[in-house]
A = this chain, B = another copy of it.
């Protein structure tokens, strides 16, 4: 096991009716900015629940945060918060709203050009406190420090993370997700699955508990994913999916183990270039990385085959092939294509993505930093 430090102070309020309890979590003197996306929270009653819970608080709102939240949009919220001296952010929505709100929180007190937080890893020394009401299980943003932000003008999609943008609390009420479109649920399942794989499918690191925790999440997603897609108002399977998505990226399973994240790095480029949903890029890239990196990932691929998919017969190569095929089949069963041709994207994307990554510095992705620009090309050519 590798040395690590870990701290995750986010308070979770999980279950039916928990939105009613948020007033007690936010200082009564706070000037709250509620952020949200396209307005689905108004259709499904979550907006009203939040307003009712915060009836005694000073509350303003900012809607219209997009999927793949845009810097240009978020900066309008920053201006509003600065002008109105708002000092507490409540993100109500999915990962995009949460990520966007983390950026707003860091940008409000930032001196200089806030885009530098993303493009130059400019240091953050303070942030406005934020919290969340999660309505889309997927990204784990409700219990981590990460945010991914896009910029229209440059077609860039960049990430940052800082302990100052941990939510103070997050409400996870599975009922708030009952009205989500099936596409978003399917995306969420694959997103959580891939987050787990990024921390698991590397090389054996003498960390059996972390391995088993990761396998626990994968197996539960494989069981609960199809159920929650088929029965959107089945509280139990929705709750279990929601809990898996949070545990997949709150830091626990990554303690003391190597991590990959190449799938995400390449996937972000596909979203930035072609506006393919985040999770859908992962469904395309992950199987190809499993193929291309099958030698360095062999130990874990065989463990994954046996423990997650119960694949126990055949040669090493056959079991690895079967595990990759099972992964692909699972993604496709959730309705996510695993080939770029489903999006009318052709082979030229391989070079473009490799060049874009190269333009930001030497490409050295994956747990061994051995995924070069050439490997990225190979991975994407295999994904057509």
Q: Which residues of B contact A243 (CB under 8 A)?
A: 1, 207, 209-210, 255-256
> How many Å from the CB of A10 to the closest CB on chain B?
7
- The reply to whether B255 and A252 contact each other, CB–CB distance below 8 Å, is no
Identical copies of this chain, number: 2
Spot the interface stretch: A211-219, A271-279, A331-339, A361-369. A211-219
- The reply to whether A240 and B209 contact each other, CB–CB distance below 8 Å, is yes
**Which of B6, B18, B213 is the one whose CB lies under 8 Å from A12?**
B6
- The reply to whether A212 and B208 contact each other, CB–CB distance below 8 Å, is no
- The reply to whether A216 and B223 contact each other, CB–CB distance below 8 Å, is no
**Which of B4, B11, B208, B240 is the one whose CB lies under 8 Å from A7?**
B11
> How many Å from the CB of A216 to the closest CB on chain B?
3
**Which of B1, B8, B208 is the one whose CB lies under 8 Å from A223?**
B208
> How many Å from the CB of A25 to the closest CB on chain B?
10
- The reply to whether A15 and B256 contact each other, CB–CB distance below 8 Å, is yes
- The reply to whether B5 and A14 contact each other, CB–CB distance below 8 Å, is yes
Q: Which residues of B contact A159 (CB under 8 A)?
A: none
Interface residues of A in 1-55 (CB under 8 A from B): 1-18
Give the nearest-CB partner of A205 in chain B: B236
Give the nearest-CB partner of A3 in chain B: B15
- The reply to whether A236 and B11 contact each other, CB–CB distance below 8 Å, is no
Is A282 engaged at the interface, CB distance under 8 Å to the other chain? no
Q: What separation, in Å, do the CA atoms of A315 and B169 have in the docked complex?
A: 47
Is A239 engaged at the interface, CB distance under 8 Å to the other chain? yes
How many residues on A have C-beta within 8 angstroms of the other chain's C-beta atoms?
42
**Which of B1, B12, B240 is the one whose CB lies under 8 Å from A206?**
B240
- The reply to whether B247 and A14 contact each other, CB–CB distance below 8 Å, is no
> How many Å from the CB of A164 to the closest CB on chain B?
14
Q: What separation, in Å, do the CA atoms of A7 and B12 have in the docked complex?
A: 6
Is A220 engaged at the interface, CB distance under 8 Å to the other chain? yes
- The reply to whether A14 and B9 contact each other, CB–CB distance below 8 Å, is no
> How many Å from the CB of A137 to the closest CB on chain B?
12
Q: Which residues of B contact A247 (CB under 8 A)?
A: 209
Interface centre among A2, A9, A17, A209 (most CB of B within 10 A): A209
Contacts A209-B244, A212-B219, A224-B208 given; indicate if A5 touches B11 (C-beta within 8 A). Answer: yes
Interface centre among A4, A5, A10, A169 (most CB of B within 10 A): A5
Contacts A217-B209, A236-B206, A247-B209 given; indicate if A9 touches B12 (C-beta within 8 A). Answer: no
**Which of B1, B14, B15 is the one whose CB lies under 8 Å from A239?**
B1
Q: What separation, in Å, do the CA atoms of A314 and B2 have in the docked complex?
A: 42
> How many Å from the CB of A210 to the closest CB on chain B?
8
Interface residues of A in 255-289 (CB under 8 A from B): 255-256
Give the nearest-CB partner of A12 in chain B: B6
Give the nearest-CB partner of A216 in chain B: B212
- The reply to whether A207 and B240 contact each other, CB–CB distance below 8 Å, is yes
Q: Which residues of B contact A256 (CB under 8 A)?
A: 14-15, 239, 243
Q: Which residues of B contact A212 (CB under 8 A)?
A: 212, 215-216, 219-220
